[in-house]
Amino acid sequence: MSRLAGYLLSFALGCSAFGQGIPPNLSRTLGTTPPNVQLVDTQGRTFRLSDLKGKPVILSPIYARCPSACIVISRSVKKALQQLNLPDDSYTVLTFTFDPKEGRAEMAAFQRNHELNRPNWRVAYVPDDNALFELLDGIDFRFTYISEQVKDHPNLLVFLDKEGVIRHYEFGLEFTPQQLQRGLRIARGEYTLWERVSDWIFPVGALGVLATGAWLMLGSRRRSR
């Protein structure tokens, strides 16, 4: 019974995760490099996105005053990474606020309240609003203004490879170790056979249908002669 309740809860959370916000257009972002914007972390250190090159990066756009989803996302990522127990120097997590009205104080409070203290986890904000929206456009992250306190947004993580190129998105509210493992694997360039061929199935199938139609027509013409 408790297992059934767990499944139902997961299903409900999954539905709500997919049901929020405007999904990014992956065909425009995968394989591109987000703009090299300047960020400031909660220690006051200034850095650029390019400074994180050299290992996979997990981008987590959130807003600190979020009453629900962003807290669940950050806590689940923290828990999943603890379970995976990967070496700290094998990846970086960058949690940043997409709300231009939030800065160091809000992000520091968010980091403190949710204990995002791993050495490879940076909690930051983009001080320049133009640069912030360039970064959001670069990952096609669109949020909806509901009120000063509340924004609707997609629940996602973006995985960059060691060169800073967008390689993968994971969607959800409660991220699992499997999701993070898959994202980091793809960010390392390790694809399964299915991941390599899945993008080609539709165009190959469409071409097959057209070719079959043409072949049937030509065949019937020959037979009718």
Partner 1 sequence: MDRFEKRAMALALSLVLMFFGLVVYAAKGLQADLPTCLPYKREIQRGNFTEVGPKRYQVDAVAFMWSFDMGQGNTVTVPRGAVVDFYVTSRDVMHGYHIDKTLANLMAIPGAVTYARVKFDKAGEYQILCHEYCGLGHQNMVGRIIVE
Q: Which residues bind partner 1 (CB under 8 A)?
A: 18-20, 22, 25, 27-28, 100, 129-130, 132-133, 142, 144-146, 152, 206, 210, 213-214, 217, 220-221, 224
| Shortest Å, Cβ 72 to partner 1 | 17
Q: Which is nearer to partner 1, 18 or 191 (CB)?
A: 18
Structure tokens at 161: 């490879």
Closer CB to partner 1, residue 78 or residue 153?
153
Alpha carbon distance 145, 133 (integer Å): 14
Q: How far is the CB of 172 from partner 1 (least distance, A)?
A: 15
CA distances from 174 to 18, 35, 191 (A): 11, 28, 24
> Minimal CA–CA distance to 118: which of 145, 80, 154?
80
Q: To 5 degrees, how large is the angle CA 158–CA 163–CA 168?
A: 25
Beta carbon nearer to partner 1, 30 or 84: 30
CB-nearer residue toward partner 1: 51 or 137: 137
Rounded to a whole number of angstroms, the minimum distance from the CB of residue 100 to partner 1 is 5
The H or E element spanning position 65 is none
CB of 83 to partner 1, least distance (A): 30
Residue number, 21 or 164, with CB nearest to partner 1: 21
Q: How far is the CB of 152 from partner 1 (least distance, A)?
A: 7
- Rounded CA separation 150/66 (Å): 7
How many CB atoms are located within 10 Å of the residue 162 CB? 16
